[in-house]
Amino acid sequence: MLEAALRAVGAVCYHDLHPFNDMLHDGKLNKGQVQAWALNRYVYQAAIPRKAVDLVADRSPLPS
């Protein structure tokens, strides 16, 4: 049931449906926009291992 609910959200809200993603792949962004996207993507990806450690250690990554 949870999986179905998550898939339903993903079907309408996933990043590949966002207009920015279309502009990125169509080459319609300027250099600064692509640089900002790359930095944002790096920061997001770099945080994944820290979040995984928190989950495995049963710690909340958010302050209480």
Evaluate if residue 52 carries a pLDDT over 60: yes
Q: Note the pLDDT of residue 50.
A: 85
Entry pTM: 0.62
* CA nearest neighbour of 24 among 12, 13, 32, 33: 33
pLDDT beyond 60 at 9: yes
CA atoms of 2 and 49, how far apart (whole Å) = 24
- Are the C-beta atoms of 39 and 49 separated by less than 8 Å? no
Residues 6+ apart with CB under 8 A from 20: 37
Residue type, 59: R
